[in-house]
Each structure stands twice: as structure tokens, then as C-alpha cells.
A and B are shown apart, each in its own frame.
With several copies, the nearest count.
Chain A
Amino acid sequence: MSIFIDESTRLVVQGITGRDGSFHAKQMMAYGTKVVAGVTPGKGGQRFEDAVPVFNTVAEAVLETKANTSVIYVPAAVAASAIFEAADSGIELIICITEGLPVLDMTRALPYVHERGARLIGPNCPGLISPGKSKVGIIPGSICKPGKIGVVSRSGTLTYEIIHQLSTHGYGQSSCVGIGGDPLIGTNFIHCLAAFADDPETTAIVMIGEIGGTDEQQAAEYVKDKIKKPVVGFIAGQTAPPGRRMGHAGAIISGSSGTAAEKIAAFQKAGISVMKRPADVVPLLKERL
């Protein structure tokens, strides 16, 4: 098993003829992901790589190909619009790789996705992979290995580092999900923890957080209350400087929360084994499994 994506994933690539979209569409096709459609307004009727039909709109793509999942590689200025379009067209799972989305766009896109019962992963995320089954996004398939560890992370390349550690030491993954580092994201740690908890194949969970916000603290509470499987965690940013801040609103709303120390303490209190460095992931998992 796996979470969110597997062999039944039928993918439409929004921005399939763009630089990033075409490169990664080929990578995903090579990995075995069922890429059933692409969308680029004005290129409807063409075929991508002589194989994948391209449509002007996601609605047409869904109608013609029964796509159930979408991945977004369009420029930041129109990425929110692509999210709206995917949700409006009945796509159930939307993965937005694009980085640099205005946060205020997300304040409007998130309730829209939510109202339609869809799930958004990202934006500004590497996507996800269920090794051996399906890969949606940009996580290099070559570093992953099918297995039983669930990985969820706010970062991109740091996730690769952790997956690399796991795979090279024989720990395959059920699914690896990069939820994205932006302030407003569609799928958070708790959503992924719940899915991994429900996935019978996943035996342990690796959770990679970073400074800023309180998602990790809430996730820790959730782990304490609900998760029976072993969880190993990491927090990046212990040495990061506190950002120069204008105004008082940030301090008022978040108080002193968001530091690495606070998050590590919350992890420890919740019984999460905390890595000091990425290379600790395998030794800690060994202890817990």
C-alpha cells in the first residue's frame, strides 16, 4: 500500500509543454506514472512525446481521459489559477510544484479546493512518490526504494537527503510526501500522519520539519494522541538567524513559537525520536523497529 498515489493514479500535467513541465512529465512517464493528459491553453489537440494528449483546459482533459490527479508546473503568477481550475474540474488530488506563489492567492485557493473535497499538496513542494507505483512531482525516482517507511517533509532537497540515507541502508519507503515550505499549504503533517497511520504497509514514519510556524508542534500533539507507529523526526534551522522583522503583528500572533528548540522539545515530549543530523535517521529507526 501507499498513501495518496499508487497504480490507480491517472495524472494530468498542467503546463506539460513548458520547460519544467515537459522535463518532469518525461521523468514521471519513465518512472511508470500513468500520465494520461497534459494541459496547455492553445495547444489542445497536440500530443506530448507522441503519446499524451494535450488539452486546452483541465475540464476537457478530465472528460476525455478520466484523470483523477493533477500536477502543476505553470509559472507562479498563474499557479493559483491552475489550482482553481484543477479543483473546479473534479480533480481529487492536486500537487502544485510551482514555487513563488503569492500567499494571498493561497488564502483564496485553499477554501476553493476544500469546498470541492479535493486535496492539494504544496505549493512549492517536490511532490510525492510511492516507490515502484507512481511518482508525481520532482523527487528523483532513482534515490527511492519500495518499502515500509513513510516519509513526510516540509523541505525538498533535505527530503532527498533523508530518503537517500534510508534507501542506501536498506530501508525502502511506502510513500514520501513533500508538503512544501510555504506558510500556507494544502496538506500538512497531520494529514500525512493520519494517512500513514491508516496505511497497513507503513511500519514507521519519518517526519522532517523546520523552523517557523507551529505545524510541527501540532503534529507532535497528534502523534502523542493518535499515532501508534514509531515516528522519527528532524528539525532543520537550529542555527538559522531570527529574521529581521518589521512591525509587531508577527510577534503578537505567534508569540515566541516557531524556534527549532521549541519544536524539538515538542517532538521529544510526544515520544518522537529526534535526529541530531540527517545521518541519524537509520540508527534511530533501528532502535524503534
Chain B
Amino acid sequence: MNLHEYQARDILRRHGIPVPPGDVATTPAEARALAEKLGGKVVVKAQVHAGGRGKAGGVKLAKTAAEAEANAKAILGMKIKGLTVQKILIAPAAEIASESYVGIIVDRASQRAVVMVSPAGGIDIEEVAATTPEKIHRLAVDPRYGLLAHQALGLGFKLYGDVKQARAAADIMQKLYGAFYAVGASLAEINPLVTTPDGSVQALDAKISIDDNELERRPDIAALRDTSAEAPEEVAARDAGLTFIKLEGNVGCCVNGAGLAMATMDLVKYYGGAPANFLDIGGSSNPQKVVSALRIITSDPNVKAILFNVFAGITRADDVANGIVQATTEFALKVPMVIRLIGTNEAIAVDILKKAGFSALTDMDDAVKQAVAKATGKAA
């Protein structure tokens, strides 16, 4: 789950990291009031879960409160990478002496949280990493000890020659590492970490992503979810306990298990079709999940055929069959459906489907070929 910048700033602040003032607004009037309160120049920043806000016009400077209001009017409602801006952050336009980068992410290779810093921060950090990797310094943190003071200071000296600033950066890194574990983050990033002309070190912009598996035990963090900033069908899928990603094809796929789901999509393409989605009904599906899955798939007007591919194991085939039958009593599928269903309780499932007028295949390739044929109108 991605947090908005203003939410990430709140978390940093709670963990003692110096963050410039500023607050979130949802209307131009609120933006104006906040700008007046802050005084001086402010920056109006779109709060959406997408990079490249600046280039898309979602970040604007305002010299006066009236200008802030005007900017807010322009940015609120704007679409950035398909997402509508519903919230904006109003913060003072800081005077910046230098921009650095500090990020923490869980690294598969070292199986640890890795702290990354670079004295060349700002929007071009990925280019820095690609072209001058020696400017990126990394440290895999031993989770048994946490980010130790000397390690953080060593990284701090990579950012700043001045010992006071190095210590300030080290302190920020240790607090960011603490916040990372405390909120169950999968990513925490300060970009840029700035120095101001008076020498202080501050987190100007922050991004935090939360590991979805952490949300159950962290209701306070889960409450930060902003569903208005997400695609509605993905929200519906998550509410139903499904993993769903929309694509541009015409074969709606409904599969158990992420690996098999991807292999099924690949096979759709192999046989000349295009998958309309990734959809994993998960390990221990019940009929209701299948109903929800079909509802989401059929709501996509691009879908011309539905492909079920279920290899029952912990998922029971009869549950899936029951779900399919139940769905057809609740709403019309509108498009043809091909079902491949084998494994645990296969015989019972086939029986259930037969009684409802469906047939089931046993071979994955056969099923995919038929589904592609039905979607494209060509013979299998």
C-alpha cells in the first residue's frame, strides 16, 4: 500500500525526523488558508500514487495565498497517470542549499533492509544510479542489531563533509530505519534530503510504501489507505480477497495461484490471444470469491471470453464449480466461458458444472486454445 506524501511526512515527523511544516488540503479555499498560515512562498503538490508529478504539472510554486488558491484549483481534479488528484499538500517553498537521497528498501539478495544514500539526490536519482553508480552508497542492515550509530555516521559522511550535517543525516537515517520497521514498510524514501542555507538538514519530500501483509496487525496504518486514489476494480478485488491487475487484452483469466495465473496469461499470448487481466483467486478460495472474480472480469467491456484455469490443491475444485454456478444465477456472463478444472474433488466439481449446463476440460493447452478462439472469433 502506497502512502501519500503528506502521510509519509506525518510518519517521519512522529519519528523525530525534521520535516518542514505544511499540511494537506482538498479544496482551493483550504489551500489558500494554509498558504496564509504558512506565509511567504509555498509549493502546491498533487497527492497521487504516481511518480513524475512535477513533469505532469502537479507541482506548482505560489508567491501569494491567492496564487496558491489558483494553483490548487488547477491541480485538484487533474489526472496524473490515470489517477485523479483529490488532495494537495501545501508547504513552504524551502530555500535549498543541496539535495541528497536517502532510501530504505528490503533487498531480496541480502535478505535485509538496505539503506541507500546519494549526495546527488532529487528527481534524477534513478539516472544517477544508472550512469554513476559509484555515487550511490548502500548498506545492508543486520536486523539483529539495527542501523548502528557508526554505520549511519559513515553514510552521513558520504553525504556531507561537515560533521554536524553528517551527524544530523545519520540521526535521520537511524530514525527512518526505526520508522521502517515500526510501520511495516517495504519502502521508505526521503528525496530530496536537503540542507538549507543555515545548514540544517531536513526531509523535503518522503515516500513510504507499506507491506500489505503488515496491515492486519497495524490498523492505524491500514486506516491511511486512500481508496479514492486507486483503480475501482482493484479496490473491489482486494475487498474480495483477490489479487487483480487490469490489462488491455480480451481474454478474461481466472486462475488459482500467481504462478499458474502468469503461465496461463503467457499461454494465452502463445496461442495468439491477449489476457485482459491477471487474477489470482488465492489458496483457499470459497465460492463467494469466485463469484466476485467473475463479477470483476465481466465488468470489463473488453473481455470477449472468460478462461477458468484451476488446478485444485488447497483450493477445492467443487468450491470453484459452486462459485461459477452461483455467479450465473446472480448476473449474466454475456461472453463465452471455457473452464479447465482438475485436482482435488475434481469429479464432484465436474458433476456440479454438468448439472448447470457447463462442461470442463482437463488440459490447460486445450482450454487456452478454445478461449482464445472464442475471444477472437477464429476457430481453435
Contacts and interface: CB of A to CB of B under 8 A. Distances in A.
A278 to B, nearest CB: 6
A161 B2 contact: no
Contacts of B257: 155-158
A214 B144 contact: no
B299 interface: no
Contacts of B217: 77, 102
B167 to A, nearest CB: 8
Interface residues of A, number: 76
Contact of B259 (A111, A112, A154, A164): A154
Contacts of A111: 142-144
Of the candidates A57, A184, A211, A249, the one having the most CB atoms from chain B within 10 angstroms of its own CB is A249
Interface in B270-313: 270, 275, 278, 283-284, 310-313
Interface in A165-192: 181, 183-184
Contact of A161 (B138, B283, B311, B315): B311
A126 interface: yes
Interface in A82-118: 82, 84-85, 88, 99-104, 106-108, 110-112
B216 A77 contact: yes
Contact of B114 (A103, A234, A253): A253
Interface string B262-273: 110111111000
A213 B106 CA distance: 12
A23 B111 CA distance: 32
Nearest to B186: A103
A85 B147 CA distance: 12
A172 B223 CA distance: 50
Contacts of A278: 263, 267, 364
A237 B278 CA distance: 10
A81 interface: yes
A247 B189 contact: yes
A156 B207 contact: no
B107 interface: yes
| A78, A88, A107, A213 pick with most chain B CB within 10 angstroms | A107
A245 B105 CA distance: 13
Contact of A277 (B163, B214, B256, B267): B267
Contacts of A238: 262, 266, 269
Interface string B98-131: 0001011111110111101000000001100110
A186 to B, nearest CB: 9
Contact of A76 (B51, B125, B181, B213): B213
A155 B257 CA distance: 7
Given A107-B112, A238-B262, A252-B136, 13 more contacts: A103-B186, A104-B143, A104-B185, A111-B143, A140-B343, A158-B259, A240-B265, A245-B51, A247-B187, A248-B51, A249-B189, A277-B267, A278-B364
Interface of A: 20, 24, 41-42, 44, 56-59, 76-78, 81-82, 84-85, 88, 99-104, 106-108, 110-112, 126, 138-140, 143, 153-161, 164, 181, 183-184, 208, 210-211, 213-215, 234, 236-241, 243-253, 255, 276-279
Q: Which 4 A-B pairs have the closest CB atoms?
A: A155-B259, A42-B163, A157-B257, A85-B150
18 contacts: A41-B167, A56-B163, A81-B149, A85-B150, A103-B213, A107-B111, A155-B257, A157-B255, A158-B260, A160-B313, A184-B106, A214-B108, A214-B109, A245-B51, A247-B51, A249-B103, A277-B266, A277-B365
